[in-house]
């Protein structure tokens, strides 16, 4: 009898919740310097991965997201994550990169989020 059949028969209780925590992207790199050099060089693949991951987290109203889980050749690693409060800043910092690589649909999504955030806080500042 399969797990699902057992569950239907009532011999195995249904899980109340399943949590899968993982980074949006896993990278295998030589060392930390390689990662930071890619960031410094504004690597277009890295930028696209970050933006798509943050957009997904934003749409799902996640409190934070692990963007990269990085493993280095020496088997050490690091996790690159950001909190919800940093989403708009990261997206804003990537906007010119998206324009440079002609990702105009993503630019429009990012711009909409940035404008929404600045309008929300701009209105609040006018009241002060």
Q: Which of 65-69, 80-84, 90-94 has the highest mean pLDDT?
A: 90-94
14 falls within a domain: no
25 falls within a domain: yes
Flag whether pLDDT at 39 surpasses 50: yes
pTM: 0.70
Q: Return the percent helix, strand and coil in the chain, to nearest 5.
A: 55, 15, 25
Query: Per the structure, how many domains does the chain have?
Result: 1
Q: Quote the pLDDT of residue 17.
A: 41
CA atoms of 84 and 90, how far apart (whole Å): 10
Closest of 21, 15, 20, 17 to residue 3, by C-alpha? 15
């Amino acid at each position: 009898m399969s797990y699902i059949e057992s569950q239907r028969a009532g011999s195995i209780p249904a899980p109340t919740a399943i949590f899968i925590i993982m980074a949006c992207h896993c990278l295998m790199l030589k060392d930390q310097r390689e990662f930071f050099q890619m960031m410094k060089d504004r690597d277009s693949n890295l930028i696209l991965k970050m933006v798509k991951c943050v957009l997904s987290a934003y749409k799902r109203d996640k409190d934070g997201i692990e963007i990269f889980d990085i493993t280095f050749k020496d088997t050490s690693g690091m996790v690159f994550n950001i909190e919800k409060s940093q989403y708009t800043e990261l997206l804003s910092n990537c906007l010119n990169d998206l324009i440079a690589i002609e990702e105009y649909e993503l630019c429009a999504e990012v711009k909409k989020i940035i404008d929404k955030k600045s309008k929300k806080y701009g209105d609040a500042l006018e009241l002060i």
